[in-house]
Amino acid sequence: MLIAGHHAGYTEAGYQELRPTGWVAAYMIGLCLLSEALALLTLGLVRPWGEVLPRWIPLLGERRVHPLAAAVPAGLGAVALTVLWTPMAFWWAIPHTDMTNRGKNLVGFVYLPLVAWGPLLGAITVAYFRRRTGHGEEDGGDQH
C-alpha cells in the first residue's frame, strides 16, 4: 500500500520521510515476496511434499526429504521470527509520532498475531521432526 501511494496510517510528514520509491520500493516488494515464499514452505512440514518432493521438481522430484534438511532451516526460521516479532507485543508502549492514532492502532492489531508466528513454527517443526524420526514414540506406538 505504501508503494502505491497510500499513507497506510502515516501522517503526511511520516509518509514523506519514508517515501518508498526506487530501490526502497523494490526492496519492500522483494521482502514481501520472500516472506510469502518462506511462509508457504511451512506447509511442507504438514503436507506430503515435505517428506517426498513432488515429481515436477527437476532433478530432485520423488526423492525423500531428509528430516534435518527441513527441520534445521525451519527451526532457525522459528528462532529468527521469534526474535523479529516479539517486540511487536510492545507496540503500544512505543511512541509513533509519524503515525495517526487510528493508523497506530490498526497497525498494532493487524501485526500483533505475528508475535505467535515464531513459536508456532517452532512447535510445528518439533512435531515434524518427531514424526519423521520416530522420536517421542514410546514402546512402538501412541498411548492414548
The 10s digit of each residue's pLDDT in 98-120 is 999 999 999 899 999 999 999 99
Select the more confidently predicted residue: 141 or 18: 18
Q: How much is the pLDDT for 2?
A: 76
Examine residue 95 and state whether it is found in any structural domain, yes or no: yes
Give the span between the Cα atoms of 68 and 58, in whole angstroms: 21
Examine residue 144 and state whether it is found in any structural domain, yes or no: no
Q: How much is the pLDDT for 16?
A: 83
15-53 pLDDT, tens digit per residue, is 888 777 888 889 989 999 999 998 998 999 999 999 999
Examine residue 12 and state whether it is found in any structural domain, yes or no: no
Q: How much is the pLDDT for 11?
A: 85
Give the span between the Cα atoms of 65 and 29, in whole angstroms: 30
Number of compact structural domains in the chain: 1
Q: What is the pTM of this model?
A: 0.81
Collapsing DSSP states into helix, strand and coil, what is residue 89? helix
Cβ 75 vs Cβ 125: under 8 Å: yes
By C-alpha distance, which of 135, 123, 115, 137 is closest to 42? 123
Give the span between the Cα atoms of 33 and 36, in whole angstroms: 5
Examine residue 34 and state whether it is found in any structural domain, yes or no: no
Examine residue 17 and state whether it is found in any structural domain, yes or no: no
Examine residue 32 and state whether it is found in any structural domain, yes or no: no
Q: How much is the pLDDT for 108?
A: 92
Q: How much is the pLDDT for 13?
A: 85
Examine residue 114 and state whether it is found in any structural domain, yes or no: yes
Examine residue 82 and state whether it is found in any structural domain, yes or no: yes
Write out the residue range of the structural domain in which residue 127 sits. Answer: 43-133
59-92 pLDDT, tens digit per residue, is 998 999 999 999 999 999 999 999 999 999 999 9
